[in-house]
Structure 1
Amino acid sequence: MKDKIKVILVDDHAVVRAGFRMLLSTEADIDVIAEAERGEAACQLYLERQPDVIVLDLSMPGIGGLESIRRICNRDGNAKILVFSVHDEMVYVDRAMNAGARGYITKNSAPNILVTAIQKIAAGEIYIEQGLMKNMPTQNSEADYRTIVDTLSPREFDVFLLLAKGLTAHKIAEELCLGYKTVANYGTQIRSKFKVSSVAELAHIAIILGIMRN
């Protein structure tokens, strides 16, 4: 029997957490193992409970969501964090993904989106709500992006895919047996070629090209 996806819910509103828990309790493959109302508690719970996915709000008292993402990802480069926020502006998506989150959906999304996002992220994919992707500025067409991909060296292409999947430069360095600075330089070159500045935009391009699913 397949193991359930262990989830920790992090939101400073108890009513919101109760709603999440109720929704997820109907899914046979998801198990909410803990809750937290502040980022500090989330960091501690992550170490103690080792969840598969953390569902986390950005706007919380204390250290807040972004700093929580950074701290958890610094401790574990494989951490899988899904941001579930009222903010639908791309600046929040970019900051969350650059901090290390693997997904971003809004609280206005349909209930099934939360379930899908958790399942995708648990499986190692990146997930950004489709409506948010449509708001992302697109400077090039699919054909333009394919032309740019063709100019990438084999190593640059490897780094591009892993960045688009949400892996940190440190994790990519480990996976490809490269130095951290080498990976960071590749990342700079790749973003320059695509004329983008964030991980979320690279993920968007990979989805447009059909390299990754959303």
Structure 2
Amino acid sequence: MQYKIRTLVIESSDLIRMGLHSFFSRHPSINLVATTDCMHDLLFLVKQHQLDVILMDLQSIEDHGMENFSRLHRQSPESKVLILSSNEEQHLPSRMLPPGAAGIISKYSSCQLLLNAVTAIHAGKNWLNRGALPVEQLQPIPVKPAVLSDHYPAPDCFKLSRTESRVASLACKGLSAKEIGRQLSVTEKSVRNQLSSIYKKVGVRKQVQLCIKAPLHNYFQ
């Protein structure tokens, strides 16, 4: 009997979620456990089901924060997460994906390509753009420098302080302000103030944006 990959979808768009449900629920190699648009539902579902693959809308991470994404990874470390991007082309190196994510794919991809991605990450590979690579063969993909807001300085105009670098590094590992404070023996309020300063310098507004952008410019060096 063919093994079915236990899959869950978290997607903010009703139409895309319905389309994925229609496709996966009829495919012989996929066991679609559930679909949802709510991170809290997802955290509940991972406790109830042993999931192989989670397809997650990138917007869900931005809306609910890296802290909840990291919590998901801690609750279900064996589940492989495939990020669904709204961009037609997504050029992010695997080292810049949120901790626990095994790959990223455009929502504009064909159903067959999406199925290939799910199968690949379930088999222990990473999926980048349109193909799979074994983890040991992954190479950084060229990334166009992000466009900074006019309100913030260019990345080569400043350097983070040693303390800011430590805070930013821990934040990019998915730790909350409270967890960072505990590790650095400072108050949560102090960490939040540091993060506000870091966001302003880097030119971002959210923790997940810092995770994506900071490694590009070696802000931790």
Corresponding residue for residue 157 of structure 1: none
Shift of residue 72 of structure 1? 1.3
CA distance in 2, matches of 1:98, 1:12: 18
Shift of residue 69 of structure 1? 3.0
Q: Would you say the 8 A contact 2:94–2:102 is kept in 1? A: no
- 1:1-214 aligned within 5 A: 1-60=1-60, 63-64=63-64, 66-87=66-87, 88-90=89-91, 95=96, 97-130=97-130, 136-137=141-142
Shift of residue 77 of structure 1? 2.6
Q: Would you say the 8 A contact 1:59–1:65 is kept in 2? A: no
Runs (4+) of structure 1 exceeding 6 A deviation are none
CA distance in 1, matches of 2:127, 2:61: 26
User: How many corresponding residue pairs?
Assistant: 140
Shift of residue 39 of structure 1? 1.6
The 1:41–1:63 alpha-carbon spacing in structure 2 relative to 1, beyond 3 Å, is farther
CA distance in 2, matches of 1:83, 1:33: 18
Amino acid at match of 1:74: R
Shift of residue 106 of structure 1? 0.7
Q: Would you say the 8 A contact 2:8–2:32 is kept in 1? A: yes
The 1:61–1:136 alpha-carbon spacing in structure 2 relative to 1, beyond 3 Å, is closer
Q: Would you say the 8 A contact 1:24–1:30 is kept in 2? A: yes
Q: Would you say the 8 A contact 1:12–1:61 is kept in 2? A: no
| Unaligned segments of structure 2, at least 5 residues | 132-137, 144-172, 174-214, 217-221
TM-score (norm 1): 0.55
Percent same amino acid at aligned positions? Answer: 24
TM-score (norm 2): 0.54
Q: Would you say the 8 A contact 1:56–1:65 is kept in 2? A: no
Secondary structure (helix, strand or coil) at the match of 2:7 reads strand
| Unaligned segments of structure 1, at least 5 residues | 139-167, 169-196, 199-214
CA distance in 2, matches of 1:108, 1:42: 24
Shift of residue 111 of structure 1? 1.7
CA distance in 1, matches of 2:61, 2:78: 25
Amino acid at match of 2:102: R
Shift of residue 63 of structure 1? 4.9
CA distance in 2, matches of 1:120, 1:65: 27
The 1:130–1:61 alpha-carbon spacing in structure 2 relative to 1, beyond 3 Å, is closer
Query: Can you list the C-alpha shifts for 1:188-212, whole angstroms capped at 9, x where unaligned?
Result: xxxxxxxxx58xxxxxxxxxxxxxx
Q: Would you say the 8 A contact 1:10–1:38 is kept in 2? A: yes
Bigger-Rg structure (1/2): 2
Secondary structure (helix, strand or coil) at the match of 2:60 reads coil
Amino acid at match of 1:128: L
Amino acid at match of 1:10: I
Name the one with the larger helix percent. 1
